Homo-oligomer: A and B are copies of this chain.
Amino acid sequence: MNVTRVSRVLSKRTLLMSSAFPRFFSVTNGNGRLESSKVLTGGSMNPFVKQIEYAVRGAIVIRASEIEKELKEGQSKPFDHVVKANIGDAHALGMKPLTFPRQVISMCVNPELLDDPRFPADAKDRARRILNGTGGFSMGAYSDSAGLEVIRKDVAKFIENRDGYPANYKDIYLTSGASEGIRSILKLLQTSVNQGKERAGVMIPIPQYPLYSASLSELNSYQINYFLDEDNSWALDTDELKRAIDAARSQCVPRALCVINPGNPTGQVLSYENIQSIIRFCKQEKLVMLADEVYQANIYAEDSKFHSFKKVLRDMGPEFEHMELISFHSTSKGFLGECGFRGGYMEVVGLDPEVRFHLNKMLTAKLCPSVVGQAMMGCLVNPPQPGEESYESFTQQKTAVLQSFKERAKLVQDTFNSVEGFHCNEVMGAMYSFPKIDMPHKAIIEAKARGLHPDSFYAMQLLEETGLCVVPGNGFGQREGTFHIRLTILPPIDALKPLFERFKAFHKKFLDKYK
């Protein structure tokens, strides 16, 4: 099967559905004026921005917000609230923030609280440490563009403890979430042209987290899809990597490989040997490695373990040590779930010093990431230690969150697998299930008649009838002819159980109608 062609066709079809501007808007503006009075129009604006897609906050999510307003206005629905299981946003779904980081940050923001006896000594210590690293003892001063040195050093120590190899704080860049770091590196990879076969090619997994496809669209770099093997627990097969890169060479200059581990939306966790073979592949094909490791703390399967790309690379010895690897982490996932703070870091190793010079310069023009977000990262990498006042309560809260995620992961996958026509691989890690739906032929026909992708058609009906908001699989990419939804495992167990009852009833009705 010619998978590249399939994926191009697929991509074109998805485009029609989620990046196109709804027709009914486009003739005149609010004043009935012809659009030609505008400088920027659909015809004159940046065409690469037009081709961006981002389904995680796409049409179904917009409809979910409308339904929330309709409920507020008193409209009657078969449910009393919407569950937004479309995005990995733990706090929005009821998770309580951990106490320690919030104490630290409230003192950083309002240093008068440093004298408050209610706060524990270790939290005060962390807050002072961070404030001493700022300009004028204030979170309101700009930091260096790469972040506060004190926190970069704590990140380096965190990585050293995790991997057992040295990490240099100068290789650490604090970023606004992981996304901003990823975008910066994709930007570096772009070539002098943004069209034709000389443009940069970047390998990404399918299914993928759509930040990658959206950023590559914006840069008009070439997206090289490699498919994860759903029949084999979403494994990453290097033969497939080879197929994908060879097929892409006539379209672009392949320059980098992105890996998401643990996987989003797939939940797979790469084995040590698998990472070794990916690194060998990148060496052979001369690719920069981008390791998206934001879910590194979210491992649920008993026989899975998180191995960082940096550690495996260093284990492989001097022959591999020159390789270019950028790893990303975030405060938004793991056990903190502090998405709104926009904390993140990237560790950049092996980069040519001249490229590094220009990366640094590009970042200076962006001033700095949120200093409060940096402080949140500081709390993630420098938590209370044994013997410190908050150690027990912090550890207890952290363990409870991770244990609860683990239970939810199991509940979600088991429930899907108990439903006719659903197949869900084990959620080994991360925060999502990505079950496959055996879509009835009649439903596919009906969806196409309405101009919808079949899994969008399914997800929209699921939303309207149960209040459950999920992202259709086409937003992440999937093999032609397969259909999926992504559901976060984040709704609390108490909410998940009745939700799944509604879901099962919906699905039965759907099957009765279209089977």
Residues of A within 8 A of B (CB): 19, 21-22, 25-26, 29, 31, 33, 35, 37-42, 44-50, 52-54, 56-58, 87, 89-95, 97, 102-103, 105-107, 109-110, 113, 134-136, 138-143, 145, 176-177, 179-180, 187-195, 210-211, 214-215, 218, 255-256, 286-288, 321-322, 324, 336-342, 350-355, 357-359, 361-362, 364-373
A210 CB contacts on chain B under 8 angstroms: 365
Additional 10 contacts, C-beta under 8 A, given A48-B190, A140-B337: A26-B354, A40-B188, A49-B362, A52-B358, A95-B136, A106-B110, A106-B113, A193-B195, A339-B367, A339-B368
Which 8 pairs between the two chains have the least Cβ-Cβ distance? A92-B135, A340-B371, A106-B110, A91-B138, A214-B365, A57-B364, A92-B141, A42-B354
Q: Is the CB of B40 within 8 A of A352?
A: yes
A136 CB contacts on chain B under 8 angstroms: 91-95
Q: Is the CB of B339 within 8 A of A29?
A: no
Given contacts A139-B341, A218-B362, contact A370 B373 (CB under 8 A): yes
Q: Is the CB of A49 within 8 A of B109?
A: no
Which of A91, A93, A140, A215 has the most chain B CB atoms closer than 10 A to its own CB? Answer: A140
Given contacts A52-B362, A255-B40, contact A188 B46 (CB under 8 A): yes
CA distance A365 to B213 in the complex (A): 10
A194 CB contacts on chain B under 8 angstroms: 193-194
For this chain, the copies found in one complex come to 2
Q: Is the CB of A176 within 8 A of B370?
A: yes
Q: Is the CB of B31 within 8 A of A361?
A: no
Question: Which residue of B is nearest A371, CB measured?
Answer: B340
A321 CB contacts on chain B under 8 angstroms: 31
A380 to chain B minimum Cβ distance, whole angstroms, is: 12
CA distance A44 to B358 in the complex (A): 12
CA distance A45 to B189 in the complex (A): 6
Chosen A-B contacts, 11 in total, with CB atoms closer than 8 Å, are A25-B354, A40-B351, A44-B255, A49-B188, A54-B365, A106-B110, A140-B336, A140-B338, A140-B341, A193-B194, A214-B365
CA distance A306 to B29 in the complex (A): 31
A92 CB contacts on chain B under 8 angstroms: 135-136, 138, 141-142
Q: Is the CB of A89 within 8 A of B189?
A: no
Q: Is the CB of B351 within 8 A of A369?
A: no
CA distance A29 to B324 in the complex (A): 12
CA distance A321 to B355 in the complex (A): 46
Q: Is the CB of A91 within 8 A of B370?
A: no
Partner of A322, one of B33, B188, B352: B33
CA distance A351 to B42 in the complex (A): 11
Which of A106, A287, A340 has the most chain B CB atoms closer than 10 A to its own CB? Answer: A340
A270 to chain B minimum Cβ distance, whole angstroms, is: 22
A301 to chain B minimum Cβ distance, whole angstroms, is: 26
Partner of A38, one of B94, B176, B352, B365: B352
Partner of A192, one of B31, B41, B47, B139: B47
CA distance A372 to B187 in the complex (A): 27
CA distance A370 to B341 in the complex (A): 5
A188 CB contacts on chain B under 8 angstroms: 40, 45-46, 49
Partner of A135, one of B42, B89, B211: B89
